[in-house]
């Protein structure tokens, strides 16, 4: 039974269809694994064993009757705790939502469930997805399964850790400034942030609405393409959802990069990049070149402005989005506040953690009258310049290749004391969100301490297929070497 856990999500669904295992076997194997490792890793905020096993049994029946035939039927999934799940606690890893049980499920989760995937539970994250280490969670830290002294990354750290620890077969995360790609890189799994608007945000508790996208964290590129194909949909309930005709992403699982033009931004390999990371990432470029891609260095403009632009826009949107947490309709309400306005303030002050308050304060400031033009509108103008820089790059290249993060996973407890330093770690991932682009993180080796390294491939809007083709080609070639 132990080798069932070594299967990918797609392999597992095939094995279930073939009758080698049942969906219940798969769920039981995952729950047994959780019994072994969860006390150390702490990837989950909520696990609903009974419901998971009951739903797995239902899925098995539907698979046997031929009602469910898709490539993810019967596969146990973990969901980041900022996606609403009907009847299952959804906390955003915050005290303020410690008792919130949604009455509906987010569209991405529904799409997975329609395909026969079975939800195990909800994964830990940085509070309201604000952080890069999963250490700002109200419910305690998650540890990196590859080395438990280190963080799993964030904010989708629980999802990445659950996949890496075999506590699920695949997971959903969300990415506002790198929150899927960076934990995927730190935990040695595959993670993809789709083009803005590809996956419905309906039911995703908003952080920075113009930047947030849901995407997969999983064991390999095939799972990644399959999950993306399943969750992508045009949803009238999300007005930023795009109508795409080209969501048959698994068609791009082809080993061929001949003639693919890959650009390497010189500034992504400068000061502050860990030597091991640099070497491993450049080795991927060499490999792709050997396989027929054309690789060249270039100057990507405006890179250094991405972080201040991002934190202005994301925090402005967050301060507005998080106004809804007021202790009236759901969530935490402070006791003994005698007047309505006092109750709002007290509930929010007791319910939010320090990082969330920090971002709400900055966001409120940059939106306040007198500063709105100088900060918020300025950032939106620079965003346009950053988008233009990428447009110029994609006029010449199919893909941009670089690191996901400047270092491998830091040790637990080292990041939060200096938020500014932590924000700087987002340098390679956040401009992708500002420009609405797709980006994938693929494992490409380990550093001297054995910690995973990820390579990031960035595509033009709607060019996920190119990313998947290049990532798949690299992954298969790397397998042959082993």
Partner 1 sequence: MANVISDETIEYVGILAKLDLSDDEKEQAKKDLEEMLDYIDELSELDTTGVEPMSHVFPVNNVFREDVVVNGDDSDNILKNAPEEKDNMFLVPKTFD
152 is an interface residue for partner 1 by CB under 8 A? no
- Name the strand (E) or helix (H) holding 112: helix 107-114
186 is an interface residue for partner 1 by CB under 8 A? no
Identify residues 337-396 at the interface with partner 1 (CB under 8 A). 337-346, 348-349, 352, 357-358, 360-368, 375, 377-385, 387
Return the structure tokens found at 40.
């150390």
236 is an interface residue for partner 1 by CB under 8 A? yes
For the four alpha carbons of 322, 326, 332 and 334, in that order, the dihedral sign comes to positive
Question: Cα dist. 458→171, 273, 442 in Å?
Answer: 21, 18, 11
Question: b vs e for 427-457, b when ≥16 Cβ sit within 10 Å of the residue's Cβ?
Answer: bbbbbbbbbbbbbbbbbbbbbeeebbbbbbb
416 is an interface residue for partner 1 by CB under 8 A? no
Three-class SS state of 288? helix
CB closer to partner 1 out of 360 and 404: 360
Q: With CB under 8 A as the contact rule, which of the stretches 5-13, 142-150, 232-240, 247-255 interacts with partner 1? A: 232-240
Identify residues 447-476 at the interface with partner 1 (CB under 8 A). 461
254 is an interface residue for partner 1 by CB under 8 A? no
CB 401 within 8 A of CB 260: no
Task: Report the interhelical angle of 23-41 vs 49-64 (nearest 10°).
Answer: 150
246 is an interface residue for partner 1 by CB under 8 A? no
Identify the active-site residue in 132, 137, 155, 174: 155
Minimum CB separation from partner 1 for residue 371, in Å? 9
Has 289 been annotated as catalytic?
A: no
Minimum CB separation from partner 1 for residue 198, in Å? 11
Identify the active-site residue in 94, 137, 174, 179: 179
Return the structure tokens found at 362.
């900055």
Beta strand 190-193 pairing with 439-446? antiparallel
202 is an interface residue for partner 1 by CB under 8 A? no
Concatenated DSSP letters of 171-188: EEEEESSSTTHHHHHHHT
Minimum CB separation from partner 1 for residue 271, in Å? 17
Contacts for 139 with CB less than 8 Å, ≥ 6 apart: 45, 91, 93, 124
CB closer to partner 1 out of 195 and 408: 195
| DSSP letter assigned to residue 134 | S
CB closer to partner 1 out of 267 and 364: 364
Has 155 been annotated as catalytic?
A: yes
Minimum CB separation from partner 1 for residue 432, in Å? 11
The binding site for partner 1 (CB under 8 A) comprises 99-101, 103-104, 196-197, 210, 236, 239-240, 242, 302, 304-305, 307-309, 311-312, 319, 323, 326-333, 337-346, 348-349, 352, 357-358, 360-368, 375, 377-385, 387, 419-420, 435-436, 461
Q: Which residues are catalytic?
A: 80, 155, 179
């Amino acid at each position: 039974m132990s080798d069932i856990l070594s299967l990918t999500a797609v392999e597992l669904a095939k094995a279930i269809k073939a009758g080698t295992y049942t969906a219940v076997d798969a769920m039981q194997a995952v729950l047994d694994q959780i019994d072994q490792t969860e006390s150390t890793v702490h990837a989950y905020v909520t696990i609903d064993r009974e419901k998971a096993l009951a739903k797995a049994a239902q899925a098995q029946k539907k698979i046997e009757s031929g009602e469910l035939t898709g490539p993810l039927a019967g596969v146990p999934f973990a969901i980041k705790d900022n996606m609403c799940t009907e009847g299952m606690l959804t906390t955003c890893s915050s005290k303020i939502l410690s008792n919130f049980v949604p009455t509906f499920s987010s569209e991405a989760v529904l799409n997975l469930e329609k395909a026969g995937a079975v939800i195990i539970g909800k994964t830990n994250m940085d509070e309201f997805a604000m952080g890069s280490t999963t250490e700002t969670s109200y419910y305690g830290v998650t540890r990196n399964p590859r080395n438990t002294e280190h963080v799993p990354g964030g904010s989708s750290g629980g999802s990445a850790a659950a996949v890496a620890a075999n506590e699920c077969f695949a997971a959903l995360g969300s990415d506002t400034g790198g929150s899927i790609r960076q934990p995927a890189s730190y935990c040695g799994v595959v993670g993809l942030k789709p083009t803005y608007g590809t996956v419905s945000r309906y039911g995703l508790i908003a952080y920075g609405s113009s930047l947030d996208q849901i995407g997969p964290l999983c064991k390999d590129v095939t799972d990644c393409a399959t999950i993306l194909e399943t969750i992508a949909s045009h949803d009238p309930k999300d007005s930023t959802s795009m109508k795409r005709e080209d969501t048959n992403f698994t068609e791009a699982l082809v080993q061929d990069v001949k003639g693919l033009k890959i650009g390497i931004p010189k500034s992504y390999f400068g000061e502050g990049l860990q030597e091991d990371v640099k070497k491993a990432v450049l080795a991927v470029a060499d490999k792709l070149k050997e396989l027929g891609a054309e690789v060249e260095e270039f100057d990507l403009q405006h890179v250094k402005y991405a972080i201040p632009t991002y934190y202005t826009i994301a925090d402005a949107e967050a301060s507005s989005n998080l106004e809804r947490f007021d202790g009236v309709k759901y969530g935490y309400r402070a006791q003994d506040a005698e007047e309505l306005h006092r109750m709002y303030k007290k509930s929010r002050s007791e319910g939010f953690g320090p990082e969330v308050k920090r971002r709400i304060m900055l966001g409120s400031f940059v939106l306040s009258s007198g500063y709105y033009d100088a900060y918020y509108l300025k950032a939106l103008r620079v965003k346009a310049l950053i988008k233009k820089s990428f447009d110029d790059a994609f006029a010449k290249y199919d893909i941009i290749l670089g690191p996901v993060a400047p270092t491998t996973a830091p040790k637990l407890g080292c990041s939060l004391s200096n938020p500014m330093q932590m924000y700087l770690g987002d340098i390679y991932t956040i401009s992708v969100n500002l420009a609405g682009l797709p980006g994938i993180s693929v494992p490409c080796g380990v550093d001297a301490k054995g910690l995973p390294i990820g390579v990031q491939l960035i595509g033009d809007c709607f060019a996920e297929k190119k990313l998947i083709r290049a990532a798949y080609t690299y992954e298969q070639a790397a397998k042959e070497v082993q």
